[in-house]
Amino acid sequence: MNLKKLALYSSVFALQGLSNAIIPVLPELAGGDSGGSAISALLFSGYFIGALLALVPLGILADRIGNLKVIRFGMLLTVFSGLFIAFSDSPWILGISRFLEGVGCGAFFPAAFSVIAEWEDSQQSLGEFNFLLNAGLAAGVFFSGMLAEFGIKTAIISFTFLAGLSCILLLSEAGELLSPNRREKKLTLPESEKPVRNQQDTSLLPELKNYMGKAREILFKTDFGKIWGITALLYGATGLLTANYTDYSAGFLTKPEIGLAISASYLAAMLSSLIAGRANINSKKIIRTGVILAAAGIFLSVKLPLLAFFLIGAGGGTAVIGLITAVSRISSSGFAMGLFNTGIYAGLGLGPIFGSFFLEPFGYEAVFFGSALVLLAVLFVELE
């Protein structure tokens, strides 16, 4: 593996591992018996809300100032957030740190995908990148559960250290290798184009307004809005379960067992993504299959956690292939893909918070079942 891939691949593994290392120890970080499900949901969702708010504007910024600068910013923010989470017990500091960690994620991914798109072996590299993305998510929950007996924050500290090493790589010559083509293009710009480029770069606000206009058009004049809604509901329902399952299963699952169960969902997502990507089936059927698998996993979560999370991961990994394929038929632009990703983070960020209002009056099982039924309702949505 060359240095530029090592810098980017190690970064996505550490970033995703750190983001998920918090999940098996959410009740303890929320204050144990003195905390509550609302604080747990806030700590879980703060990350995704930060990413949701940062994803599109920082993706636009990466086009303006260069991908490498934004990638470095994202990883530095991730490391500092991890340090605050590792060495603070204040719910306020933990919540703000999770939010800023999410902003780092929102900075990292649009720029990282843009870098990979410029490589000669971009398709192969994208597959490797997504494999390590899911591997990091799985490793985060698995090692957090396994290492909890040595200290609640052992895994968080470990992945923060890995993220720090990746930052060093990104700040070194290895990082400079990530975007040589972009630098060469800037040097060979025709003189006639430079004043236009400089004039356009004077203000970000008009460009943002232009992008918002495009967003309104694509959301309301195509099937994109329906696809976005399905995505948000899918990840909202599965995020609600994941955020609250540690509390729910405290009486019958140990920390290693909950870490193993949740990590199984990421293994299933890795496998199902490969299968769905090679399947000769239209996107609508792929989406429906994924939704049914995910809903089945939520229903089974009260009795068979390992199988349940495997089905949830398989459903998410399957559905996302169909959803991305459907979006690409409308528009394959980076902006459209970034807007699509906001649906994922909207679901993961807002689903657990919205669901937490119903936990006390109805209980965990009723809320889980209700979210599964809402998810199944998307089967009646017609896509062209």
pLDDT at position 208 is 63
User: What phi and psi values does residue 24 have, to the nearest 5 degrees?
Assistant: -65, -15
Enumerate residues 6+ apart whose C-beta is below 8 A from 28. Answer: 152
When pLDDT is cut at 50, 70 and 90, the band that residue 230 belongs to is very high
| Dist. CA 304–CA 49, nearest whole Å | 30
Mean pLDDT computed over 158-170: 93
Residue 101 has pLDDT above 70, yes or no: yes
pLDDT over threshold 70, residue 185: no
* Residue 298 pLDDT class (50, 70, 90 cuts): very high
Under a CB-based contact definition with an 8 Å cutoff, are residues 345 and 48 in contact? yes
Q: What percent of the chain has pLDDT over 90?
A: 30
- How many Å is the maximal CA-CA distance in the chain? 69
Selected from 1.10.1060.10, 3.40.50.300, 2.40.50.140, 1.20.1250.20, the CATH number assigned to the domain covering 1-195 reads 1.20.1250.20
> For residue 204, what pLDDT is reported?
55
Query: Which tops the pLDDT comparison, 317 or 365?
Result: 365
Q: Could you tell me which residue, 181 or 112, shows the higher pLDDT?
A: 112
Instruction: Record the tokens describing residue 8, joined without a space.
Output: 């980017």
Looking at residue 260, its pLDDT comes to 85
Mean pLDDT of 352-373: 91
Nearest to 240 by CA among 318, 323, 297, 324: 297
Domain pair 1-195 / 203-379, same fold? yes
Q: Where do the structural domains in the chain lie, given as residue ranges?
A: 1-195, 203-379
Residue 318 has pLDDT above 90, yes or no: no
The residue assigned the tokens 């530029």 is: 4
Q: CA-CA distances (angstroms) from residue 261 to 72, 74, 248, 268, 349?
A: 33, 29, 14, 11, 21
Residue bearing the bigger pLDDT, 381 or 255: 381
Which fold, 203-379? Growth Hormone; Chain: A; (1.20.1250)
Cβ proximity of 79 and 160 under 8 Å: yes
Residue 119 pLDDT class (50, 70, 90 cuts)? confident
Q: Long-range contacts of range 373-376, CB-CB < 8 Å, 24 or more positions apart? A: 373/295, 374/233, 374/237, 375/233, 375/234, 375/237, 375/291, 375/294, 375/295, 375/298, 376/291, 376/292, 376/295
Could you give the C-alpha distances from 66 to 54, 118, 179, in angstroms and in order? 16, 13, 8
- pLDDT over threshold 70, residue 183: no
One-letter amino acid of 303: K
Asked if residues 15 and 73 have their Cβ atoms less than 8 Å apart, the reply is no
Q: What local confidence, expressed as pLDDT, does residue 123 receive?
A: 56
Listed residue (243, 215, 239) closest to 340, CA to CA: 215
Dihedral angle computed from the Cα positions of residues 174, 175, 178 and 184, in that order, rounded to the nearest 10 degrees = -100
Other beta carbons within 10 angstroms of residue 330's beta carbon come to 16
